[in-house]
Amino acid sequence: MNKIGIIAKHHHHDAKPIVEQLVTWLGQHQKEVFLDTDTAELIGAKSGYPKPKIPPMVDLMIVVGGDGTLLSVARLIENRDVPILGVNLGGLGFLTEVTLDEVFLTLEKIFKSEGTPDSRLMIRSEVFRQGERVVSSYSLNDTVISKGVLARMIRLEVSINSQFVTSLRGDGLILATPTGSTAYSLSAGGPIVNPMVEALVFTPICPHTLTNRPIVIPGNATVQVKMTSREDGAMVTFDGQVGFTLRPDDVIEIKAADHKITLIRAPEKNYYGILREKLKWGEG
């Protein structure tokens, strides 16, 4: 790994010093560094690149920030075999698990091929309007169909592999990956699923019928959701960052992407240890 990309949450107060240290340290280790435009401006570097141009140029992406920053970078990777190292700037950080104190030791181990790669399932979502695809996006965490800003329920028809499942009335639904099972889906009552499990999590949001419960479905399933509400205003969002306004009779199709994302974990850490730490298990 000789070409390293860095994308930082540039408006965070701790971002500048850690990026400066990273650039200096990587230079001392004969690594070529590629910064996005905002990160380059943050440290006064002479050149930066638009974010989408960086993944094809590098062997490793370092994301400095929180889980939201990492999610946005994961969508940029698309089908490229570029691993991501997430460096946490102090938030909850299920994905950006490496702390500032650990980053340089972790990088040394990565460059010695001692890092632990985690392959994570992504989903691809497409919206069809009158049979024509109008939007498509990848997600590492989840695709969420929600009622929008108005305080009223929406109605959805859900099928899995073209088999009718349910007519859902409520605030919406979440289709999450195992990675996303500890995000919005968990807050809505969904189960925690180990990322090594090839599965998807279907979680209703405040369903009108209380027997509509979260279910875990096979990772190779295709979910079709049809908007049967007659009112406008519902939304579909991808990783909570990219949104699209839905219309009556729109169909959202969600399935596992053809490629996976590789996150690099510090060798001394494991998934269950991270759960204990982040969710405060055993404390009380």
Q: What contacts 170, CB < 8 A, 6 or more positions away?
A: 153, 154, 204, 205, 206, 207, 208, 209, 212
CA distance 252 to 136: 10
Helix, strand, coil share (%) of the chain residues, nearest 5: 25, 40, 40
| Token pair recorded at residue 205 | 């949001």
| Token pair recorded at residue 183 | 């995000």
Among residues 36, 38, 59, 67, the one annotated as catalytic is: 67
- Are 262 and 83 spatial neighbours (Cβ–Cβ below 8 Å)? yes
- Are 127 and 246 spatial neighbours (Cβ–Cβ below 8 Å)? yes
Tell me if residue 118 is catalytic.
no
Q: DSSP E strands: which ranges in the chain?
A: 3-8, 32-35, 60-65, 84-88, 116-129, 132-139, 142-146, 154-160, 163-170, 172-176, 199-205, 215-218, 222-227, 235-238, 242-245, 251-265
Residues labelled catalytic: 67
